[in-house]
Structure 1
Amino acid sequence: MIVMYSTSGEKLLTVATRLFYSEGIGAIGVDRVVAESGVSKPTLYAQFGTKAGLVAAVLQRRSDTRKREITEYLNNVPADTDSRVLALFDRFIAGHAKPGFRGCPFTNAAAELPDPEHPARVVIADYKTWIRQKLIELAAQDGLESPTECGSFFSLLIDGANVRVITTGEITGIVDAKQAASELINLRRITPGDKS
């Protein structure tokens, strides 16, 4: 469930989300966030406690929204789709192609926040675990042998494509990741008559 803040809190969250993603968490101070949002610094601290709290709230909102969107997307994938795993890869491919895309916000944040005690790290880990679990479920629905292992492999492919965006700026790595996923699916799909 998405937590809603006061009008001022929502303004801060909207501005912080844009700035943290486009310019980086470390590059943006609370002074910039309050200046662009038109909300006072005391209000920011009253709503989020600290900059770390604001970062965690930004990522939590992204996580809640992304989980809802992915769930809705998968619910609308036709039942006769050959691979639900590859359908999810198609969604990520479309996301990577959007103007202004500069990588997964959770991967980017993790690279900037090495402290395991940072409150945002819990949000990042939760989202990444959720994606991996979703891929495990989809691998099972696709009839793949060892779906837990396959889901983990698919998750690594997506993370690798996102890291490529950060390290080289290349946004087409997700297409390569889908191709690798497709080859794995061909190897792991259980056909009638196979031993399970």
Structure 2
Amino acid sequence: MTAPSLPTGFDVAKHVAATRADCALTVGFDRRQGYIPRFLVQLHYQVATAPVVWHSIARMDHNETAATGHDVYREGLHVDADRRVGPEVHLALRHGPLPANRGAVIRGCVDYLDAEADYFVDVFEGRHSPGSPPRWAPDGGEREPTFIRSPPVDGGMSRNADADALSREELTELLADATGTDAEALDREARDMEIAPPAEADVVDETE
């Protein structure tokens, strides 16, 4: 099956295996002597089959190399969610402290987009309106976010879009090598990331 295009302009760009048969994941990042200053993680959705057409429906990124870049350590994690009809939506996610290791953050973002693929497909197709539900608890206070963690690495995850797509384990090893860290430690940091579901995110803006 034809795979979606890889991110351009990065030192490293890879396909990563996704769980849904009609979705694919791509990762692009720069590496600077054991450090990752910039990355892009994308969830792609197959919008046509004859011929196969992929569309990027959700993106998470970090860029501390440009004044106008989005720095997740200053601004928090966000997802740019696309829709088949209507403007792109910028969702500010609720999450716990992020690991200092950017490689672990990339792995966490990959896990998150893969786990929440159903939600982003529904947003793209117009079956679900993006935005947070009412956050007020019965006692009048604000509800606590429902944090979710990444599942354990499964080396046998689907390689649906590209037979050469990296497994989660292979991605972890690649990121560990790029950051000069132990793969098991990076995996633990990624799985310990706490990110609330996108349904609990705040819509920051809608770009025409």
Please report the TM-score for the alignment, with normalisation by the length of structure 1.
0.27
**Greater share of strand:** 2
**Greater share of helix:** 1
Could you say which structure has the greater relative contact order, defined with CA pairs below 8 angstroms and 6 or more residues apart?
Answer: 2
Please report the TM-score for the alignment, with normalisation by the length of structure 2.
0.26
